[in-house]
Protein backbone atom coordinates (compact mmCIF):
# COMPACT_ATOMS: atom_id res chain seq x y z
CA UNK A 1 0.00 0.00 0.00
CA UNK A 2 2.71 2.55 0.90
CA UNK A 3 4.94 1.85 -2.09
CA UNK A 4 6.38 5.40 -2.24
CA UNK A 5 7.46 5.23 1.40
CA UNK A 6 9.01 1.83 0.74
CA UNK A 7 10.88 3.22 -2.30
CA UNK A 8 12.13 6.16 -0.22
CA UNK A 9 13.44 3.85 2.51
CA UNK A 10 15.16 1.71 -0.14
CA UNK A 11 16.71 4.84 -1.65
CA UNK A 12 17.89 5.96 1.81
CA UNK A 13 19.48 2.57 2.59
CA UNK A 14 21.16 2.26 -0.84
CA UNK A 15 22.64 5.75 -0.46
CA UNK A 16 24.05 4.94 3.00
CA UNK A 17 25.60 1.67 1.75
CA UNK A 18 27.07 3.27 -1.38
CA UNK A 19 28.59 6.20 0.51
CA UNK A 20 29.92 3.90 3.26
CA UNK A 21 31.67 1.77 0.65
CA UNK A 22 33.11 4.89 -0.98
CA UNK A 23 34.39 6.08 2.40
CA UNK A 24 36.05 2.71 3.07
CA UNK A 25 37.84 2.87 -0.27
CA UNK A 26 38.88 6.52 0.02
CA UNK A 27 39.99 6.01 3.62
CA UNK A 28 42.13 3.02 2.59
CA UNK A 29 40.20 0.76 4.98
CA UNK A 30 39.26 -1.67 2.21
CA UNK A 31 42.22 -4.06 2.18
CA UNK A 32 40.50 -7.44 2.22
CA UNK A 33 37.12 -6.20 0.90
CA UNK A 34 35.42 -8.28 3.65
CA UNK A 35 33.90 -5.25 5.37
CA UNK A 36 33.07 -3.59 2.03
CA UNK A 37 31.26 -6.69 0.75
CA UNK A 38 29.47 -7.31 4.05
CA UNK A 39 27.66 -3.95 4.04
CA UNK A 40 23.96 -4.47 3.45
CA UNK A 41 20.47 -3.75 4.65
CA UNK A 42 17.18 -5.51 5.21
CA UNK A 43 13.87 -3.69 4.76
CA UNK A 44 10.87 -5.45 6.27
CA UNK A 45 7.47 -4.23 5.14
CA UNK A 46 4.20 -5.07 6.86
CA UNK A 47 0.77 -3.45 6.52
CA UNK A 48 1.25 -1.14 9.54
CA UNK A 49 5.00 -0.68 9.82
CA UNK A 50 8.44 -0.72 8.24
CA UNK A 51 11.68 -2.02 9.69
CA UNK A 52 15.11 -1.15 8.30
CA UNK A 53 18.24 -2.89 9.56
CA UNK A 54 21.80 -2.33 8.36
CA UNK A 55 24.40 -5.09 8.58
CA UNK A 56 28.18 -5.43 8.35
CA UNK A 57 31.04 -7.57 9.65
CA UNK A 58 31.24 -7.47 13.45
CA UNK A 59 34.50 -5.52 13.44
CA UNK A 60 32.96 -2.79 11.25
CA UNK A 61 31.63 -0.91 14.27
CA UNK A 62 35.19 -0.62 15.63
CA UNK A 63 36.45 0.71 12.28
CA UNK A 64 33.59 3.22 12.23
CA UNK A 65 33.54 4.40 15.87
CA UNK A 66 37.20 3.71 16.66
CA UNK A 67 38.74 2.16 19.78
CA UNK A 68 40.72 4.02 22.43
CA UNK A 69 44.11 2.56 23.22
CA UNK A 70 45.91 2.48 26.56
CA UNK A 71 47.93 5.59 25.65
CA UNK A 72 45.91 7.31 22.91
CA UNK A 73 42.26 8.14 23.58
CA UNK A 74 39.44 8.81 21.11
CA UNK A 75 35.86 9.93 21.64
CA UNK A 76 34.41 6.43 21.41
CA UNK A 77 32.56 4.00 23.67
CA UNK A 78 35.14 1.28 22.91
CA UNK A 79 38.55 0.91 24.54
CA UNK A 80 41.34 -1.58 25.04
CA UNK A 81 41.68 -2.01 28.79
CA UNK A 82 43.45 -5.20 29.79
CA UNK A 83 43.44 -7.47 26.73
CA UNK A 84 45.54 -6.88 23.65
CA UNK A 85 44.11 -7.82 20.23
CA UNK A 86 45.22 -11.36 19.26
CA UNK A 87 48.55 -11.09 17.43
CA UNK A 88 47.65 -14.01 15.12
CA UNK A 89 44.77 -11.89 13.70
CA UNK A 90 47.38 -9.46 12.32
CA UNK A 91 48.90 -12.07 10.00
CA UNK A 92 46.62 -11.62 6.97
CA UNK A 93 46.91 -7.84 7.30
CA UNK A 94 50.73 -8.10 7.39
CA UNK A 95 50.74 -10.24 4.24
CA UNK A 96 48.27 -7.92 2.44
CA UNK A 97 50.40 -4.89 3.28
CA UNK A 98 53.56 -6.69 2.17
CA UNK A 99 55.30 -6.07 5.49
CA UNK A 100 58.43 -8.04 6.22
CA UNK A 101 60.46 -8.36 9.36
CA UNK A 102 63.71 -6.42 9.40
CA UNK A 103 66.79 -6.92 11.50
CA UNK A 104 66.96 -5.81 15.10
CA UNK A 105 69.86 -3.88 16.71
CA UNK A 106 71.85 -7.07 17.14
CA UNK A 107 71.42 -8.04 13.49
CA UNK A 108 68.90 -10.80 14.13
CA UNK A 109 65.97 -11.18 11.77
CA UNK A 110 62.56 -10.34 13.30
CA UNK A 111 60.18 -13.29 12.86
CA UNK A 112 56.62 -12.90 11.61
CA UNK A 113 55.32 -13.87 15.05
CA UNK A 114 57.34 -11.05 16.61
CA UNK A 115 56.06 -8.65 13.97
CA UNK A 116 52.47 -9.74 14.70
CA UNK A 117 53.04 -9.12 18.40
CA UNK A 118 54.60 -5.69 17.81
CA UNK A 119 51.67 -4.57 15.64
CA UNK A 120 49.09 -5.93 18.10
CA UNK A 121 50.87 -4.10 20.93
CA UNK A 122 50.86 -0.89 18.89
CA UNK A 123 47.10 -1.21 18.26
CA UNK A 124 46.59 -1.91 21.99
CA UNK A 125 48.50 1.23 22.98
CA UNK A 126 47.37 3.59 20.19
CA UNK A 127 43.89 2.22 19.51
CA UNK A 128 42.00 2.49 16.22
CA UNK A 129 41.23 5.98 14.96
CA UNK A 130 37.51 6.50 14.20
CA UNK A 131 36.87 6.57 10.46
CA UNK A 132 33.12 7.31 10.63
CA UNK A 133 32.81 5.55 7.25
CA UNK A 134 29.22 4.54 8.09
CA UNK A 135 28.14 7.17 10.63
CA UNK A 136 28.70 10.21 8.40
CA UNK A 137 26.61 9.06 5.41
CA UNK A 138 23.93 7.67 7.72
CA UNK A 139 23.55 10.97 9.59
CA UNK A 140 23.60 13.00 6.37
CA UNK A 141 20.87 10.89 4.76
CA UNK A 142 18.90 10.60 8.00
CA UNK A 143 18.68 14.39 8.37
CA UNK A 144 16.77 14.56 5.05
CA UNK A 145 14.71 11.45 5.66
CA UNK A 146 11.84 13.16 7.52
CA UNK A 147 10.82 15.44 4.66
CA UNK A 148 11.46 12.74 2.04
CA UNK A 149 9.25 10.25 3.91
CA UNK A 150 6.52 12.87 4.35
CA UNK A 151 6.55 13.61 0.59
CA UNK A 152 6.44 9.89 -0.21
CA UNK A 153 3.59 9.36 2.27
CA UNK A 154 1.66 12.26 0.71
CA UNK A 155 2.03 10.62 -2.71
CA UNK A 156 0.81 7.30 -1.31
CA UNK A 157 -2.23 8.97 0.27
CA UNK A 158 -3.02 10.82 -2.98
CA UNK A 159 -2.84 7.54 -4.93
CA UNK A 160 -5.08 5.84 -2.37
CA UNK A 161 -7.64 8.65 -2.61
CA UNK A 162 -7.61 8.55 -6.43
CA UNK A 163 -8.06 4.77 -6.33
CA UNK A 164 -10.96 4.87 -3.87
CA UNK A 165 -12.81 7.80 -5.53
CA UNK A 166 -12.45 6.36 -9.05
CA UNK A 167 -13.23 2.79 -8.04
User: pLDDT tens-digit profile of 29-43?
Assistant: 877 889 999 999 999
Q: What's the average model confidence in pLDDT over 148-153?
A: 68
The runs of H, that is alpha helices, within 27-134 are 34-38, 60-65, 91-97, 112-126
Residue 104 has pLDDT above 80, yes or no: no
Asked if 72 and 131 touch (Cβ cutoff 8 Å), the reply is: no
For the chain, domain boundaries: 1-65+130-167, 67-129
User: pLDDT tens-digit profile of 154-167?
Assistant: 666 666 556 556 55
Residue 68 has pLDDT above 60, yes or no: yes
Residue 117 has pLDDT above 60, yes or no: yes
Quick one: DSSP state of residue 108? Answer: P
Residue 149 has pLDDT above 80, yes or no: no
Residue 127 has pLDDT above 60, yes or no: yes
Amino acid sequence: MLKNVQQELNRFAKYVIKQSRTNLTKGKKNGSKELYNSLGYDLKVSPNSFGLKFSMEDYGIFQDKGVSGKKKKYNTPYAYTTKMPPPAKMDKWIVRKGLKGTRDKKGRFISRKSLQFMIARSVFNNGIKPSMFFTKPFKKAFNNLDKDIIKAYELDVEELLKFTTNG
